[in-house]
Amino acid sequence: MLASASPRRRVLLAEHGFEFTVSPADVDETLQSKETPHEAVSRLAIEKALVTRGRVGGDSVILAADTCVVCSGEILGKPVDFDDALRMLAMLSGRNHRVVTSWAVLPADAPAERGVTGASISTVRMREISRREAIAYASGPEPYDKAGAYAVQGDARRFIAAVIGPLDNVVGLPVGPVRAALARFGVTPGDR
């Protein structure tokens, strides 16, 4: 059971042979006071798994995740509008930033302590992005459901100079460690 509405996570899992049902978790993603990026995405991934566990039963295994982009100490979520997307792209232009993804795997019929959690961090170097390029990109639909207002696997790949760390983490899910966690609960590619 995937507790995420992210089409990117669905694609990543499907590309690795996983079969799953989708049951997005609706949680308040407001950051708590003095919460670090790692703490925030870890808390949100666990909350999403727990919310979904409350809706499903039986022998389901739940996978939940949350991703954020961090630049100069600021957590960049999904842009709220065109101006916010431009602000984020200008902030990222010509700089390094981190992408932090945390995930939680939890059997529906087990206590939360039996779950497995983890996180992955990648560093992304953006080339300089001109204002014209940023306006053109932000005028399309791609930036608006992405942390940091860009999709590394989409049209924004032309802005990326380098990625240090797992690329799939930047897309939204570090499949290697998630696959290992799912296997601990008997979930392997091809299972439903």
Q: Are strands 61-71 and 74-76 parallel, antiparallel or unpaired?
A: antiparallel
pLDDT, position 114: 85
Mean of pLDDT values over 159-184: 95
pLDDT, position 144: 92
pLDDT, position 44: 93
Taking the C-alpha atoms of residue 158 and residue 60, their distance in angstroms, rounded to an integer, is 39
What kind and span of H or E run contains 30? Answer: none
**Least-confidence region, from 5-14, 84-93, 134-143, 169-178:** 5-14
Q: Which CATH class is domain 7-184?
A: alpha beta
Q: 2 and 20 in contact (C-beta within 8 Å)? A: yes
> Could you give the 3-state DSSP secondary structure of residue 1?
coil
Helix%, strand%, coil% for the chain, nearest 5:
40, 25, 40
Note the Cα 95 to chain centre separation in Å.
Answer: 21
How many Cα atoms are found within 13 Å in the side-chain-facing hemisphere of 179? Answer: 16
Q: Are strands 116-126 and 160-164 parallel, antiparallel or unpaired?
A: antiparallel
List pLDDT tens digits, range 57-115. Answer: 778 899 999 999 999 989 998 899 999 999 999 999 999 999 999 999 999 887 777 88
Told to judge if 81 belongs to the known catalytic residues of this protein, a careful annotator would answer no
pLDDT, position 5: 84
The catalytic position among 66, 84, 109, 168 is 66
pTM of structure: 0.89
- Which residue ranges make up each domain of the chain? 7-184
